[in-house]
Each structure stands twice: as C-alpha cells, then as structure tokens.
Amino acid sequence: TILVLDFGSQYSHLITRRLRELNVYSEMLPCTQKIADLHFKPKGIILSGSPYSVYDADAPHVDPAALELGVPILGICYGLQEMAWQFGKGVTQGDKKEYGHANLKIERHTGKEDHIDRLFEGIEDDIEVWMSHGDKLSALPEGFRPIASTPNAPWAGVASITKPYFGIQFHPEVTHTPRGTQVLGNFAVKICNARQDWTMEKFVDQEIERIRAIVGPKGQVIGAVSGGVDSTVAAKLMHEAIGDRFHAVLVDNGVLRLDEAKTVKKTLTEHLGINLTVVDATSIFLGKLKGVSDPETKRKIIGNTFIEIFQEKAKEIAQEAAETPRAGDIEFLLQGTLYPDVIESISFKGPSATIKTHHNVGGLLEGMHLKLIEPLRELFKDEVRALGTNLGIPEELVWRHPFPGPGLAIRILGEINEEQLKIARAADKIFIDEIVAAGLYRKISQAFAALLPVKAVGVMGDKRVHAQVIALRAVETTDFMTADWFPFDGEFLKRVSRRIVNEVDGVCRVVYDVTSKPPGTIEME
Ligand code: XMP
C-alpha cells in the first residue's frame, strides 16, 4: 500500500486514482493521521498539495513519525514545501503565484547517488507539467539536491542525497501533466517497490472474505436497492458472500421511471438471484406529494417517507428472520457508498481536521442498532462498473445513467399527479430509446425528459390545441459538478420531437435545454 496523506488539495484523490490505474493499491487518509494508529505498514508515503502555506501558524504538518518509518516519501506541491519545512524551514511566499503549464527540465546525477535519478527514470529531459502554487522554496533543504527546475522554480524537483525522500512542485496527478502518472509509477514501483497486483478479481475475493468474516456464519444483512449501478453491485457482492442472508428492499415511491420496479425485480431476482422484497408505496408517496410544488419540499417529503417505509419493512423482515431457525438477527445495513463520498467525509478541511460522519445510520434505522457495511467504499465509479461486469451484472445496468432519489418528482416541474407522471414517463422512454438506438447512450452522462408546468399552443390535425411542453436534457460530464449540454444533430432532435408529440397525449411541443452547468444544474428542479 502507498499511503497518501491529504493536506486538503482539490487534487489529492487523483493521486490515489493514478496509482490504482497502475494496479498499485493506495489509500488516502487525512494529514492528521497518526502513523502509530495505522492498520498497515505503507511501502511509501505521498504528501499531497494544500491550500495552506507551511509557515502559517495553523498550517497542518505531517506526523514526525512518518520520517522515522524509513519508507520513501514524495512531497507534491505543499508536500514539497512540507519536506523543506521539516529539513530547514526554507519556504517563502513567491513573488508571483504560478498557475498552469510550465516546462520542466530534468537534471540527472547518474553515477553519483543510487536512488536520486529514479523518479524521472525513462522520462524525457524536458516535460510539460502543471503548476498551481503561491509559495516556493527559498533554499534547498538540507541534504537535498535539485533534480528538476522550471524557469520560475529552480528547485521544482528535489531529492535527498542520503534518504529516499523526494519533493516536486508540480502536480503529477492531473492530466495536464502528461508524464505525471509515470512519475507516480516510478515512485511507487521503482522507489517503494510496491507490487502492481491490485486487480478487480483480487478485490472481489478479498471483499467476499472480509464480508463473511464480519457477518459471521449466521448474521444477516439488509439494504435498500434502487435499480442503479452502485446499489445493485453492492447487493450482488453481498449475495455472493452470504446468499439469502442478505435481504434487499426496493421501495417503489411512485415516481420511478416507466416499468422500473418491474424491471429491477426481474433483473435482481431472476437474473442475479438476489433475495428481494419490493414495497409498493406509490399511493403513500403520491398522497403526501399532492398539492406540493416546491422542489425542496418534494425532496424532503420523498426522503423522509422513504426512511419511514424502509424502516417499517426492515423491522418486518427482521421479525421474520428472527423466527427462521438457524439464522441470526439482522445486525447489518448495506450501503453502496463509493470512495469519492468517503473522501468527501474524511478529507482534511481545516486546521481542526473535521471528520464528518456522513451516514446517519442510527437515524436511518432507528431502534435497530445496525452496523454499516460498505463494500464499495474503496472504489471509484468506473471501478464499480468493472466490478459489476465481473460479477455478471447486465451491461445495460452497469452503464446506466444516474437517477436521482426524488425521481420524476424533480423532473415534473410543479405539482405531481398520475396524469403528469404518465406524460413524463412516456416522453422519457422515447428519448432514452432513441439515444440508445443512435448509439449515444454511453457518450452521454445523463439524459432525461422533463415536463414543464406551462401550456403552449399548437396545431394538431386541423385543430388548435393548448397542451404541455416537454424539455429534453442531455449532458456530458466527468464529475457531475460541471457539465456541458450534448450537441445532438438536428435530425436526431427532429425524430425525438416528432415521436413525442405524436405518441404522447397531452404534449404539443418539445424543447431542448442548452444550458451548461454552471449556471444551470443537471436536474431542472
Ligand atoms: P444537479 O441537478 O445538482 O445534479 O446538477 C447533479 C447530480 O446529482 C443528481 N441529483 C440528485 N440525486 N437526490 C439524488 O439522489 C437528489 O435530490 C438529487 N438532485 C440531483 C442528479 O441527477 C445529477 O446526477
């Protein structure tokens, strides 16, 4: 394992990401981590960037025990300055901040020191790198030599003469540093001797073993599934580990897509063999949503009602389980939390390193005292997809676009009723079918049809009509934080529009949303 200590840079998690791409297992922990409390011995440590300056009174510093472990250390940006701080305190504010591309000249010392050239081994003498810093080294740290420079930073790369310690000012983890992954790979593999054996098959075996050990031979687990990739993959993994002692629950909240509950049931039970209970709570949800048009109120109603219903069903299932001979009580709750959510909740955010607990398990299943199991907590989204494929989950499901918890309730602007749901479902189905038929589904990150709360005039047949408007939304994005609308060709939009107006009663117009995020959001409410 390569340990990444996060000092709060927006790029920190990408370091872990790049190492995993090289099949090197890597874990990120907040910079306040005490080395003595680690549950593993790292083969090497990487210190990330940070919004702080090392000379600030409240600046975070690495546990000095890290320097006594005797393992290689690589400091990136703030991490470099932290190395310099530990070895002589030579860091000052730069005359100008440096953001963006820079040209890095590598200096080799071949023959002089054994390890010192390894970081840039196999890499050209001149490479493009990405910089983002305000501070710089004012002196070479004691016992260090320069190994790379840029026109603005004579010590853009340094290495200790006697120890396997390195520091670089640029960010190797971002794609703007084309050779960056190779630099990280050199550190992990050539300098730390980390093994490149992190594979999905290995992960599956380890995780199944781990789940069995935690749950024990009789223990039972409950979890909600949504039909999305994360909860399905988590459920399948759990099923592989403990079979029918895992109980999946799908709550039909009445605002799912066309035939969704039926399709999920078919896939999970028939295809994947998962022990699933479907709760049809349509009338309860729609009853509570009646007359409500404020988006946040809709979200709250749906969230709270979901908890109530899931809780009730969980108690029922627990009751039945307790009466089953040879099985234990339900003690665990499965959640499909991914690595980015975990990072979000553990990452170092300020001088007092707040560690949020983002799951309110007690609140979710009040009175049941369940312990949380999160088998996907080490994975990024694309790794979850690879895992899903590995577990035999159908391709269409593995590559499904995300769908929000509040469902069609936030895609029908204004008040929701059966009639509006029928229109929104039919239009969405046509749009998605056409996207799939055009071979565009995977290129688009998320697409849907929304129903606007207005009426417009049209002529249909020979009659003037006054009917509703469907807005199509399709975006491309990597992280869902920013997004661009998808540039369909005119023929495609014409076809979708014609089909929706002809086939969906109550709609006389179709518009395409050409707003990026920001300023728009992906959903329309
Ligand atoms: P926005 O609309 O904020 O969406 O640009 C970003 C991503 O989050 C999803 N989303 C939600 N997911 N509950 C959810 O589970 C919600 O209330 C919610 N609102 C937005 C949205 O579908 C997109 O993938």
Q: What is the DSSP letter of 120?
A: G
Share of the chain above pLDDT 90, in %: 77
Q: Is 172 in the pocket of ligand 1 (CB under 6 A)?
A: no
Cβ within 8 Å of residue 114, ≥6 positions away? none
Residue nearest to atom 14 of ligand 1 (CA): 404
Distance of CA 312 to the CA centre of its chain: 30
pLDDT (0 to 100) of residue 369:
79
Residues 295-329 pLDDT 10s: 999 999 999 999 999 999 999 998 888 887 767 78
Residue nearest to atom 24 of ligand 1 (CA): 402
> CA 100 to CA 129: how far, in whole Å?
8
Alpha-carbon distances, residue 63 vs 135, 192, 488 (angstroms): 22, 20, 53
> CA 329 to CA 313: how far, in whole Å?
15
**What does the DSSP assignment read for 236-299?**
HHHHHHHGGGEEEEEEE-S-SPTTHHHHHHIIIIIIT---EEEEE-HHHHHHHHTT---HHHHH
Mean per-residue pLDDT, 383-411: 96
Tell me the pLDDT band of 359, cut-offs 50, 70 and 90.
Answer: very low
Which backbone phi and psi does 26 adopt, to 5 degrees?
-140, 145
- Rg over alpha carbons for the chain, rounded to the nearest Å, is 27
pLDDT (0 to 100) of residue 495:
98
Residue 355 has pLDDT above 60, yes or no: no
Tell me the pLDDT band of 83, cut-offs 50, 70 and 90.
Answer: very high
Residue nearest to atom 9 of ligand 1 (CA): 404
Q: Is 446 in the pocket of ligand 1 (CB under 6 A)?
A: yes
Q: Is 299 in the pocket of ligand 1 (CB under 6 A)?
A: yes
| Number of H-type helices and E-type strands within the chain | 15, 18
Per-chain mean pLDDT for the chain? 92
**What does the DSSP assignment read for 459-492?**
EETTEEEEEEEEEEEEEE-SSSSSBEE----HHH
**What angle do helix axes 229-242 and 200-215 make, rounded to 10 degrees?**
60
Cross-strand partners of 98: 133
Q: What is the number of the ligand 1 atom nearest to the C-alpha of 523?
A: 2
pLDDT (0 to 100) of residue 332:
93
> CA 247 to CA 277: how far, in whole Å?
8
Q: Which of 481, 523, 524, 525 to mutate to test the pocket of ligand 1 (most atoms within 8 A of CB)?
A: 523
Q: How far is the CA of 148 from the centre of ligand 1 (A)?
A: 44
Q: How far is the CA of 472 from the centre of ligand 1 (A)?
A: 16
Cβ within 8 Å of residue 138, ≥6 positions away? 90, 91, 92
Q: How far is the CA of 523 from the centre of ligand 1 (A)?
A: 6
Residue 245 has pLDDT above 90, yes or no: yes
**What does the DSSP assignment read for 357-379?**
----HHHHTTTT-PEEE-TTTT-
pLDDT (0 to 100) of residue 324:
77
The more confidently predicted of residues 511 and 323 is 511
- Specify the range with the lowest mean pLDDT, choosing from 121-135, 367-381, 449-463, 476-490: 367-381
pLDDT (0 to 100) of residue 349:
59
pLDDT (0 to 100) of residue 361:
42
**What angle do helix axes 418-437 and 490-503 make, rounded to 10 degrees?**
150
**Is the separation of the CB atoms in 272 and 392 below 8 Å?**
yes
**Is the separation of the CB atoms in 410 and 299 below 8 Å?**
yes
pLDDT (0 to 100) of residue 149:
96
Residue 519 has pLDDT above 70, yes or no: yes
- Specify the range with the lowest mean pLDDT, choosing from 10-14, 67-71, 444-448: 10-14
> CA 182 to CA 196: how far, in whole Å?
14
Mean per-residue pLDDT, 191-203: 93
pLDDT (0 to 100) of residue 365:
64
Number of neighbours of residue 519 by Cβ within 10 angstroms: 6
- Whether pTM exceeds 0.95: no
Residue 358 has pLDDT above 60, yes or no: no
- Specify the range with the lowest mean pLDDT, choosing from 27-36, 249-258, 366-375, 384-393: 366-375
> CA 444 to CA 150: how far, in whole Å?
39
Tell me the pLDDT band of 22, cut-offs 50, 70 and 90.
Answer: very high
Sign of CA dihedral 47, 49, 53, 58: negative
> CA 193 to CA 446: how far, in whole Å?
41
Q: Is 401 in the pocket of ligand 1 (CB under 6 A)?
A: no
Helix/strand/coil for 15: helix
Residue 360 has pLDDT above 60, yes or no: no
Look up tokens 């030579």; give the residue.
90
Residues 53-70 pLDDT 10s: 999 999 999 999 999 999
pLDDT (0 to 100) of residue 49:
95
Distance of CA 1 to the CA centre of its chain: 21
Q: Which residues are catalytic?
A: 77, 171, 173
Residue from 330, 286, 291 nearest 305 by CA? 286
Residue 468 has pLDDT above 50, yes or no: yes
The strand order across the sheet containing 371-373 reads: 276-280, 246-252, 220-224, 330-334, 371-373
Tell me the pLDDT band of 520, cut-offs 50, 70 and 90.
Answer: very high
Q: How far is the CA of 255 from the centre of ligand 1 (A)?
A: 15
Q: How far is the CA of 404 from the centre of ligand 1 (A)?
A: 5
Q: How far is the CA of 509 from the centre of ligand 1 (A)?
A: 26
Q: How far is the CA of 459 from the centre of ligand 1 (A)?
A: 36
pLDDT (0 to 100) of residue 99:
87
> CA 152 to CA 133: how far, in whole Å?
11
Q: Which of 480, 485, 524 to mutate to test the pocket of ligand 1 (most atoms within 8 A of CB)?
A: 480
Q: Is 295 in the pocket of ligand 1 (CB under 6 A)?
A: no
Residue 88 has pLDDT above 90, yes or no: no
Residue nearest to atom 16 of ligand 1 (CA): 404
Q: What is the number of the ligand 1 atom nearest to the C-alpha of 524?
A: 2
The more confidently predicted of residues 193 and 92 is 193
Q: Which of 522, 524, 525 to mutate to test the pocket of ligand 1 (most atoms within 8 A of CB)?
A: 522
Q: What is the DSSP letter of 412?
A: B
